Structures are given as C-alpha cells and as structure tokens.
Amino acid sequence: MVFSSLMFIFRFMPLFFLSYFLTPKSFRNLVLFVGSIVFYAVGEPVYIFLMLFSIFMNFCICVRLAREQRKSHRRWILFFAMLLDFGLLFLFKYFDFFAANLNQILNKEIVPLLNLTLPLGISFYTFQIVSYVGDVYTGKMKHPGTLLEFATYVCMFPQLIAGPIVQYQEVSHALRDRKTTLYDVEHGLEVFCFGLGAKVLLANKISIFWNQVQGIGYANISTPVAWMGAVAYSFQIYFDFWGYSLMAIGLGYMMGFRLPKNFNSPYMVKSVTQFWRNWHMTLGRFFREYVYIPLGGNRRGNVRMLFHMFLVWSLTGLWHGASWNFVLWGLGFFVLLTLEKCIYGKFLENGKIIGHIYIWILIPVTWVIFAISDFPQLVIYLQQMVGIHNQPVLVGREQLIRYAKEYGSLFLLCAVFSTRLPERIYHYIRGGLVVVILAFGIFWLSVYELANGANNPFLYFRF
C-alpha cells in the first residue's frame, strides 16, 4: 500500500485515525503497531513474520546488552546483532547479486540463485534497528524501553517503507507520552496534502517524459533530448521521494510524532558536498554516525579519511540496490567529494553562479547512472549526452520544439518547486485560510489524477 493510493487515502487512513483517536492514550501504541502491521500486510503478508522476528530478536539482544557490563561480552553481543541484521539484509537483497557475479567470473554455476523477493522497506527498517542497537551499545540510550515501544518504533507505518530513517531518541518521548492537538492534525494534513501534490502532480507528470525517452531508445535521442531526460529524471526522483517524506512527516504530526526532515532544497546548493547535506539527510546521518565516525572519520590522517569515504560511498551505492550501476553511482560521488575536499571545494562555495551550474551538470549525470542498470545502455546514454555516440539519430528542430511546448511549463514548475520559495511562502501563509484552501485544492486535484489512473509507483520502494 502506498500513501498516494485511493485505497490508503479513503480506506486505511480514515479507519486507522478513527480507531486511533477513539482509543485511550495508554493503548494508542498498540493501535499504531497493529495498524502498521495491517498496512505492511497489504503489500508483504509473508514478510511480516520476518520483520517481527527481527524486532523480537533485536529487542532481546538490547536488553542483554544494556545489562552486560563486561566490554568483551558486549562486543560479542553487538557482533551477533550485526551478523543477524545485516545477514538477513544480505540474504534477501544481495545474495543473488554476488552469487550471479561469482558464477559469471568462474563461468560455472557454483552457487545456485535463491530468487527471493525483496521485502518492502527492509533496507530502511534494518538501519533503524541497527541504529537502536548501536545506541544501546555506546550508552547513548541507557534503557531499551518496552517491546511494544520498540516494535512501534520500527513498524510505524509513516516511515516503515521508505523512511525517513528515524533514530529512537527522536520519538522515544512521544512513544511514552504524546499529545495531539487540533493544530497538529491540521498541520499534518496540510503537509500530507503538499507531499501528495509533489508526488502526483509533479513526480508522476514529469516521469512521463522520462518514460518517453526510454521508449524512443537511448540510441535514437539527440544530445538536447538526452539532457532533458536526465533533468526530468532528476526532478522525478526528487519530488517522488520528497513527496513521500512530506506525507510521512504529515502523518507523524497527526499522531504527535515529529519525524526528521529528509530534504532541504538539495538542487539549490553549490557543491556535491552541500548536496549530500540536503539530500536524504537521515541516510547521510546514519552513515556518518554509525559507519564513518566509528571507523575514525577524519581523525587518522588524510589517507585513512579517504579510505573511510571510499567505504561509506561504496556502501551507500550498494544500499540503494544490488546492481553495479548503484556501486558506480556511489563511487562517482566518492570521486566528486574527494575532488571538492582536496582541490576545488572552496572555489565552488565562494562563487555565486559557477557552483549552481556545476550542480546542474553533474547531478543529472549521476541520476542517469542511478536510473540505468544495463551498462551498455548506460554507456550509450552518456555518449548521447556529450554527442559522441557512433550513430546518433538527431531529433529534428520540430520535434524539439514540440517537446518544449509539451513539457516546458512542467519543467519550469518543477524548477520553481525545487527552490526554497514554496517553503518560504508556506511559512508566511501558515495558519491562515489561504493555506487550507491551497491544501484542499491540491488534495482533490491529486485525487482526480489518481482516479484517472495516474502512474503511481514510488521509486524508493525497490530499495
């Protein structure tokens, strides 16, 4: 079930919130937990048991970890927890990838493929569980709480499938004692509607152009159309994921939870370093706090720092998917971040325009690498972007004009909404009748699009 579906909006959401608010406060965690299980069961009925097993085992591990004082024993307990969590993630997400590559290298099927379906949200809830265990181990969290609180934290449906990746401390107080005011419900509904609009009215619409580019065939597009396609996909993945995050934050707000912000106008920055401070912020925080810093960060010299960065960005790429294009995508960012850190980072930050041009050239290229898993096709597309493909089929002037007329206003709208202007306007009109009317209009326009069969998958659901 996805947030931008009529089933969620008109069936699950009303029934859940009616049950939730009619329930006494002391039982609302139970209602939220059961509701989240039902939400997950619609898409993954079999893998509910996998998630519940992981929750129960990790809670038991954390109880033992919190009581154990001997350092060597605590390390072994932590090792077992990491082996369990990452072992399950590896089994379902990466086993076939590595087995297939090993078989290909040896030119013999030594390791049989399992062909397991990837459980929805496993990458996200695994990271939340790992952060919880890590915080108990380091003493950042003294007491692991109750099993119901932990299970609700992991299963909470607003962030279960595609984040944001929430740390337990961010919701621990709300899990024990939260108050929801009428303002919270109103504000949460507004944010949900704006997220729905970003997904349905922007991401879904701009995806049509990217789908057309794929349909034409990468070998049959001109350089301008290749760049238009790359920019279109850049907008699509941003509004798709940002829209989902806004809907998650809005739903959390309605229940008294303050989920962390996941995006901060990432396309308006002047360097790749700044981009990753503003894109999928909770994922970046996880790798920084639970991988980069524990490895030593930048405290052990430049060579070790670069090795740590290499490891983090290799893992970041792999986290997004079991495919070599994701690894290449992650390593591409490692190279760009290294160059900025060592050579031209200050130049970009001090410049007024050059940094923005730099971002709007490089980021679409990285998204092309992200989007195309077939390496020969990826090479063709990148060649088309620079105009060096062996047999380019140039799109005529008339066709380019047609694309500009058909999609020009949509590209402009996406460009405007990728700036900080909409957020500033919202804060200016927030709390008034205007924002209510605006949210109401966006909601029903989005519903109209969904009722007419709008293309509606979330890109990050496959991660």
Active-site residue numbers?
320
259 closest CA partner among 156, 180, 179: 156
Residue 316, amino acid: T
354-368: burial string, b at 16+ Cβ within 10 Å, e else? ebbebbeebbbbbbb
- Between CA 118 and CA 96 the distance in angstroms is 11
Residue 404 CA neighbour count, 13 Å, CB half: 8
Cα–Cα distance measured from residue 105 to residue 290, given in angstroms and rounded to the nearest whole number? 33
Both tokens of 23, joined, read 């329930």
Q: Quote the tokens at residue 354.
A: 């050059």
Burial-class residue 176 by CB neighbours within 10 Å (0-12, 13-18, 19+). Answer: exposed
User: Is the bond leading into 164 cis (omega within 30 degrees of zero)?
Assistant: yes
Q: Are 47 and 91 in contact (CB under 8 A)?
A: no
Q: Are 349 and 355 in contact (CB under 8 A)?
A: yes
Sign of CA dihedral 284, 286, 289, 292: negative
Instruction: Give, as one character, the DSSP assignment of residue 202.
Output: I
Q: Is 426 exposed, middle or buried (0-12, 13-18, 19+ CB in 10 A)?
A: middle
* Pairwise CA distance, residues 450 & 453, whole Å: 5
The answer to whether residues 362 and 336 touch, using CB atoms and an 8 Å cutoff, is yes
